[in-house]
């Protein structure tokens, strides 16, 4: 009988797979150990056939994450693509989603988190990107309780710069800016500021400023810009929220002024610094030396290979060692298991992994028979604007959401521009933060979704991991 090949054979010898921490229709996220460093990573595993028309969005996310390198953005280490699968090896964030941490934070704690959010968003705006899907579910916590922004599948990198207007409706309705739900063209940076205002409100209040089970009513509330102002909010936080939740985009505070806003500075001696700690000229020579000695190669050869930034196993090893050094840990590789030069390609031939396959089959069987299944990936919903006569939203044919090369990382080959998706659908998804309506109904748990109209269809959902298991999929 022909021997079965594991769907994860491409990871053999590179990573040791552990438990599944997120799962969805066509994707799952597993914790894994990087063999040469012994460090934990998260591997997002996607089935290309099931991705279908969402495949371009995955490539968009990958290219964006290759260009964006910041201490408050989840780091991409490696991409492996086979005929059937795409594996994204990512920084492991054991703290889970910021959403799981929300229950009306004290202002000082909310300030700490929001400073990190502002730092990350200011950085991506400076790099020419708009995120367009800012929400607590897309913010993870690492082992030091530092925030990491994830999910760049809906980001925009307009060829005309951040002053170029966009028209694609995407994100979550509860976090969407008025100009977006009204069907007008918008600036990605201004839409992000509004979403950040909703996010800060959720941190400070424990519920959303705009909500309704009826989408048409929800959109009208967003367009009015009127929201509850709880008595526990300080004057400084009220002023900051008011400056972000401005219905008129041009009256909204810019990220530049957010960096030095009095409430955000608080007791800190300096404004928020959006500079990336990874922004350096050249490569880390200590890391290059360790890899060269471990692999028995010259430093020149290793340096040249690293500077290709191929996002292969060598790139992953380099990044993990750099992360170790930044955290004050030894820059050391484990006893030699394999040669980095022998596994440089991202398209590794499939090899037998019968033990892993058996383990996976058993795992899938168990998951189907017990109630305590892994936490599913967040599900996104499409077509959310089709069931309201308030909106008449179209897509500009010349909207440039494609990725352009960045000067921050000295790569690589210039990434190819993303071809416009034929039908770049709305990607509105349900919020998981409690809302005033839900609180009135016996403080409903955050992960109970809004009621949908029959016309709304489910997307496969790829944003992040560690999503609450009560989420319907």
Is 142 considered catalytic here? no
The pair of structure tokens assigned to 406 is 């960045």
The pair of structure tokens assigned to 129 is 């990107």
Cβ neighbors of 326 (< 8 A, separation 6 or more) are 277
Instruction: Give a yes or no: residue 195 inside a domain.
Output: yes
Mean pLDDT of 53-61: 90
pLDDT for residue 409: 33
The pair of structure tokens assigned to 364 is 């899938």
Q: Which residue has the tokens 């009513």?
A: 217
264 pLDDT higher than 60? yes
Instruction: Give a yes or no: residue 353 inside a domain.
Output: no
Cβ neighbors of 44 (< 8 A, separation 6 or more) are 27, 28, 29, 87, 88, 90, 462, 465
Domain assignment of residue 429, given as a range:
97-275+384-445
> Cα(270)–Cα(90) distance, rounded to whole angstroms?
31
Cβ neighbors of 404 (< 8 A, separation 6 or more) are 128, 157, 159, 415, 417
Q: Which of helix, strand or coil describes residue 329? A: coil
User: What is the pLDDT of the chain when averaged over all its residues?
Assistant: 77
HSE (side-chain half, CA atoms, 13 Å) at 318: 27
Helices (H), 225-267: 235-244, 255-258, 262-265
413 pLDDT higher than 80? no
Lowest mean pLDDT among 32-36, 236-240, 257-261, 409-413: 409-413
pLDDT for residue 141: 94
List, in sequence order, every beta strand (DSSP E) within 24-152: 27-34, 40-47, 76-81, 85-91, 96-97, 139-141, 147-149
> Cα(329)–Cα(104) distance, rounded to whole angstroms?
35
pLDDT for residue 224: 96
Confidence of residue 27 (pLDDT cuts 50, 70, 90): confident
Cβ neighbors of 341 (< 8 A, separation 6 or more) are 295, 297, 305, 314
Mean pLDDT of 138-153: 94
Yes or no: say if 299 and 288 are a contact pair by the CB < 8 Å rule: yes
Q: Which of helix, strand or coil describes residue 52? A: helix
Lowest mean pLDDT among 219-233, 347-361, 381-395: 381-395
Instruction: Give a yes or no: residue 410 inside a domain.
Output: yes
pLDDT in tens, 238-252: 999 999 999 999 999
pLDDT in tens, 358-380: 444 444 443 443 333 333 333 33
Instruction: Give a yes or no: residue 371 inside a domain.
Output: no
pLDDT for residue 471: 27
Share of the chain above pLDDT 70, in %: 69
Instruction: Give a yes or no: residue 55 inside a domain.
Output: no
pLDDT in tens, 416-450: 334 444 333 344 544 555 544 444 433 323 332 32
Instruction: Give a yes or no: residue 89 inside a domain.
Output: no
Confidence of residue 2 (pLDDT cuts 50, 70, 90): low
404 pLDDT higher than 70? no
**Burial degree of 308 (CB within 10 A; 0-12, 13-18, 19+):** middle
pLDDT in tens, 59-104: 999 999 999 999 999 999 999 999 999 999 999 999 988 888 777 7
Which letter does DSSP use for residue 162 in this model? Answer: T
pLDDT for residue 53: 87
The pair of structure tokens assigned to 46 is 């996607």
Lowest mean pLDDT among 103-117, 170-184, 344-358: 344-358
Q: Which of helix, strand or coil describes residue 280? A: coil
Confidence of residue 229 (pLDDT cuts 50, 70, 90): very high
pLDDT for residue 142: 94
Length of the chain: 473
> Cα(218)–Cα(87) distance, rounded to whole angstroms?
37
Instruction: Give a yes or no: residue 12 inside a domain.
Output: no
Residue numbers belonging to the annotated binding site for ATP? 44
Lowest mean pLDDT among 71-75, 206-210, 461-465: 461-465
Q: Which residue has the tokens 């044919």?
A: 397
Q: Which residue has the tokens 């990725």?
A: 403
Yes or no: say if 122 and 259 are a contact pair by the CB < 8 Å rule: yes
Q: Which of helix, strand or coil describes residue 239? A: helix
Q: What is the domain-level CATH number for residue 434?
A: 1.10.510.10
pLDDT in tens, 287-335: 999 999 999 999 999 999 999 999 999 999 999 999 999 999 999 999 8
CA 115 to each of CA 111, 133, 149, 271, 417: distance values in angstroms, whole numbers, following the listed order: 6, 18, 13, 10, 32
Question: If we measure between CA atoms, which residue out of 67, 340, 155 comes closest to residue 76?
Answer: 67
Helices then strands (H, E): number in the chain? Answer: 14, 12
* Total number of domains constituting the chain: 1
Rg of the chain (C-alpha set): 22
pLDDT in tens, 158-197: 999 999 999 998 889 999 999 999 999 999 999 999 999 9
pLDDT for residue 103: 75
The pair of structure tokens assigned to 397 is 């044919």
**Does residue 421 or residue 413 have the better pLDDT?**
421
> Cα(473)–Cα(463) distance, rounded to whole angstroms?
14
452 pLDDT higher than 90? no
Q: What share of the chain is helix, strand, coil (3-state, %, to 5)?
A: 35, 15, 50
Question: If we measure between CA atoms, which residue out of 39, 319, 355 comes closest to residue 31?
Answer: 39
> Cα(195)–Cα(302) distance, rounded to whole angstroms?
43
DSSP β-ladder status, 170-171 and 427-428: parallel
265 pLDDT higher than 70? yes
235-244 vs 188-205: helix axis angle to the nearest 10? 150
Q: Which residue has the tokens 């090949």?
A: 5
Out of 39, 133, 211, 312, pick the active-site residue: 133
β-partners of residue 30 are 20, 43
Mean pLDDT of 342-357: 41
Q: How many CB atoms lie within 10 A of CB 232?
A: 11
Instruction: Give a yes or no: residue 145 inside a domain.
Output: yes
Instruction: Dihedral sign for Cα 281, 287, 293, 297, please.
Output: negative
Question: If we measure between CA atoms, which residue out of 181, 280, 306, 193 comes closest to residue 242?
Answer: 193
């Amino acid at each position: 009988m022909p021997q079965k090949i594991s769907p994860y054979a491409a990871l053999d010898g590179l990573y040791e797979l552990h438990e599944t921490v997120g799962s969805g229709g066509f994707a799952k996220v597993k914790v894994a150990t990087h063999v040469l460093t012994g460090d934990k990573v998260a591997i997002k595993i996607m089935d290309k056939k099931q991705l279908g028309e969402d495949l371009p969005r995955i490539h968009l996310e990958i290219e964006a994450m290759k260009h964006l390198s910041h201490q408050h953005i989840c780091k991409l280490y490696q991409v492996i693509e086979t005929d059937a699968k795409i594996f994204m090896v990512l920084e492991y964030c054991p703290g889970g989603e910021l959403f799981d941490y929300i229950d009306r934070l004290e202002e000082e704690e909310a300030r700490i988190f929001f400073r990190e959010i502002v730092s990350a968003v200011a950085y991506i705006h400076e790099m020419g990107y708009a995120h367009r899907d800012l929400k607590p579910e897309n913010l993870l916590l690492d082992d030091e309780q530092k925030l990491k922004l994830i999910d760049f599948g809906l980001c925009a990198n307009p060829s005309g710069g951040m002053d170029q207007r966009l028209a694609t409706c995407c994100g979550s309705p509860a976090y969407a800016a008025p100009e977006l739900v009204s069907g007008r063209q918008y600036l990605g940076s201004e839409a992000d500021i509004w979403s950040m205002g909703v996010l800060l409100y959720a941190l400070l209040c424990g519920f959303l400023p705009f909500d309704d089970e009826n989408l048409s009513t929800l959109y009208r509330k967003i367009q009015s810009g009127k929201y509850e102002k709880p008595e526990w909010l300080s004057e400084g936080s009220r002023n900051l929220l008011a400056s972000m939740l401005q219905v008129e985009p041009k009256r909204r505070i810019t990220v530049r002024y957010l960096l030095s806003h009095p409430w955000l500075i608080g007791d800190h001696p300096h404004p928020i610094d959006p500079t990336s700690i990874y922004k350096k000229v050249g490569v880390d020579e200590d890391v290059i030396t360790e890899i060269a000695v471990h692999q028995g190669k010259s430093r020149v050869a290793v340096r040249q290979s690293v500077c290709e930034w191929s996002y292969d196993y060598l790139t992953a090893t380099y990044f993990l060692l750099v992360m170790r050094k930044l955290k004050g840990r030894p820059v050391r590789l484990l006893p030699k298991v394999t040669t980095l030069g022998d596994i440089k390609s991202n398209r590794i031939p499939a090899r037998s992994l019968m033990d892993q396959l058996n383990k996976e089959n058993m795992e899938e069987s168990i998951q189907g028979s017990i109630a305590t299944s892994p936490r599913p990936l967040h599900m996104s919903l499409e077509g959310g604007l089709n069931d309201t006569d308030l909106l008449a939203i179209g897509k500009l044919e010349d909207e440039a959401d494609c990725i352009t090369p960045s000067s921050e990382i000295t790569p690589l080959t210039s990434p190819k521009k993303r071809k416009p998706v034929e039908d770049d659908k709305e990607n509105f998804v349900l919020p998981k933060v409690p809302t005033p309506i839900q609180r009135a109904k016996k403080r409903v748990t955050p992960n109970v979704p809004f009621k949908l109209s029959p016309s709304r269809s489910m997307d496969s959902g790829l944003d992040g991991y560690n999503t609450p298991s009560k989420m319907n999929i």
